[in-house]
Amino acid sequence: MKFLYKRYKESVVLNRFVSLMSVDILIKASSFILIPVYLKLLTQTEFGLYNYLISIVVFFSQILNFGLYLAQSKIYPDTESEGRGKFLFSLHVLLLFLLLTSLAIIYGFNIDRYLISLLFKGSFNYQFYRFPMLLAIVASVYSFMLYNYLLSAEKIKIVQRYNLLRLILLNTIVLAVLFYVKGDKVNMRFIITYTIEIILIISFAFQCIKEMVPSLDYQVMLRSAKIGFPIMVSAICGIVIGFGDKYFLQRKAGFVDLSVYYLAFSIANIIPMIFNTLQNIWLPIFLREKELEKNIKLTKKMVKRVFGIFIILSIGMILFIIGALYIHLIDSRYNKVIYVLPVLLLSLSIESTSHLLVNYITYFEQTYILPIISVILGIISITLNIVFISRYGLYGAAYSSLSIGMLSFTAYYFILKFNLSKFRKAALLVMANTSQITV
C-alpha cells in the first residue's frame, strides 16, 4: 500500500487523472445510469432523432473549431509566462474571426439547409431546429476550447467545479423539463442543454480572459493556423468515418433501428469519454517532454494499461445491460442492443487507444499526415458502410466501425515506427559525426 501511495504521489499523470476523475466519474456514471430514464421519457424515434442531431452538432463543431484547440495545447505550455497572454488573445481573435465568417457564409447562403437535406432521408422540419443547432454548435466550440485551456493551464480544481456544475444543472433541469413540460422534447432538450452550456462557459471564461493581453501576434496566429488547419481537414474526413455508420443506417433502416444503435453507442461512448479525460491530462505533459525515448516507454505502458482497463469496463457494461434488460429497466424494444454493444465497445476501445499514437504526429509537427490518413480511411469507411449496412443493417454498422478502428490503429502504429526509425538513424549519425570531430 505504501508503494502504491508513493507511486500515486510521484506520478503527475495519475495524480491529475484521479483528481479529475473524482468528479468526472460522477458525470460518466450519471450519463450511464440515467440512460434508462431518458429511454422512458423519449420515444424510440425521439431518442434516435436527438442523438442523430447531437452527432451532427459534434462533427460540425469539430470542423468549426479549426483545430485551434491543438495549437492551444501545443503552444501554450511552450510559451514563457509573460507571452501567454498575447498568445491566448491572438488565438481567440483568430477563432472568433474564422467562426463568425464561416457561420455568416453557411447560414447567410442557406448552406446549412442544403447539408441537412442531404443528411436526412425524407422530409425533416429543420426550420424548427435551425436556431437550437446553431446555439449548440457555438456552445460546443467554446466549451471545448475553455476545457482545453483550463487543462493546459493546469487549473484542475476549476475543471472539477466546471464539471460538477455541468453534472448537476444539466441533469436536474433537463430531466425536470422533459418530465413536466409537454411538446417537442427533442427541441426542448436541445435548447435547455446548450443554454446551460453557454451560461457556464460565460461564467468560467473569465479564467482565460483575465490572462489575455490585448495585443495581436500575427506570427502566433499563423503558427496556430498551420497546426490547426490540417486537424480541421482531418475532422472533415472524420465526419465520413465517425458519422457514416449513423447516416447510412438512418437512410436504410430509419430512426427505430438507429435508436438501438445509439443506445449501444451511448453506453460504449463511456470508453472515449474516460479516455478524453486521460488524454486532456496526458497531452500537455506528453508534448512538454523533449526526450523521445522516454515518451516511447511511457506510451507503451499507457497503451497496455488503458486498453486493459477498457476491456474490464466493457465486460462490466455488458453485464449491466444484460441485467437491465432482464429486469425490464430497459424496454424489451431495445433487446438487439446486446448483440451490437460488445462490437462497439471493442471498436471504441481500439479507436481511443490509437489516439495515444496519433499524439506523435503532433509531437513531430506532422499534422499534414492526418488529412491523408483520414481521406484513405474515409473512402474505406464509405465502402464498408454501403456493403455491410445494406446486407446486415444494424450489425453491419457495428462491424464497419470495428474494421475502421482496427485499420486506424494499424496505420498510426506503422507511422510511429517509421518516424522512430528515422529519428534513431539521425541520432546515430549525429553521434558518429561528434565522435569523428572529437578524434
What is the pLDDT at residue 7?
A: 47
What b/e sequence results for 275-304 when a residue is b if at least 16 CB atoms lie within 10 Å of its CB, and e otherwise? bebbbbbbbbebbeeeebeebeebbeebbe
Strands (DSSP E) contained in 87-213 are none
Please name the amino acid found at residue 81: S
What is the pLDDT at residue 28?
A: 60
Distance, in Å, from the CA atom of 291 to the CA atom of 297, rounded to the nearest integer, reads 10
pLDDT in tens, the chain (439 residues): 454 444 444 455 555 555 555 555 566 666 667 777 888 888 877 887 888 888 888 888 888 888 888 788 778 877 887 788 888 899 889 999 999 999 999 988 988 888 888 777 766 778 888 888 888 899 989 988 888 888 778 787 788 788 888 888 888 888 888 888 777 788 888 888 888 999 999 989 888 888 888 888 888 888 888 888 877 877 777 676 777 777 777 777 677 777 888 888 878 888 887 787 777 777 767 777 677 778 788 888 888 888 888 899 899 889 988 888 888 888 788 888 888 889 989 988 998 888 888 888 877 777 678 778 878 888 888 888 888 888 888 888 888 889 988 998 998 888 888 888 877 776 666 555 555 555 4
Distance, in Å, from the CA atom of 78 to the CA atom of 403, rounded to the nearest integer, reads 37
What is the pLDDT at residue 57?
A: 87
What is the pLDDT at residue 114?
A: 85
Cβ pair 356, 410 in contact under 8 A: no
Our CA dihedral for 306, 165, 63, 233, rounded to 10 degrees, sits at -30
Please name the amino acid found at residue 78: D
Distance, in Å, from the CA atom of 414 to the CA atom of 357, rounded to the nearest integer, reads 10
Read out DSSP for 29-79?
HHHHHTHHHHHHHS-HHHHHHHHHHHHHHHHHHHHHTTTHHHHHHHHHHHS
Distance, in Å, from the CA atom of 154 to the CA atom of 148, rounded to the nearest integer, reads 10
* Chain length of the chain: 439
pLDDT tens digits along 59-106: 888 888 888 887 887 788 778 877 888 888 998 899 999 999 999 999
What is the pLDDT at residue 149?
A: 86
Angle, nearest 10°, between helix axes 81-108 and 111-119?
A: 80
Residues 6+ apart with CB under 8 A from 115: none
> Which residue has 442523438 as its cell numbers?
51
> Which residue has 450489425 as its cell numbers?
395
For residue 209, the tally of other CB atoms under 10 A from its CB is: 11
Distance, in Å, from the CA atom of 222 to the CA atom of 217, rounded to the nearest integer, reads 9
3-class secondary structure, 231: helix
Closest CA to 325 of 341, 309, 314: 341
Cβ pair 61, 140 in contact under 8 A: yes
**Structure pTM?**
0.69
What is the pLDDT at residue 37?
A: 81
Distance, in Å, from the CA atom of 280 to the CA atom of 258, rounded to the nearest integer, reads 30
Distance, in Å, from the CA atom of 350 to the CA atom of 310, rounded to the nearest integer, reads 9
What is the pLDDT at residue 102?
A: 92
What is the pLDDT at residue 103?
A: 92
Residues 6+ apart with CB under 8 A from 357: 299, 303, 409, 412, 413, 415, 416
Say if residue 311 is exposed, middle or buried (CB neighbours under 10 Å; 0-12, 13-18, 19+). Answer: middle
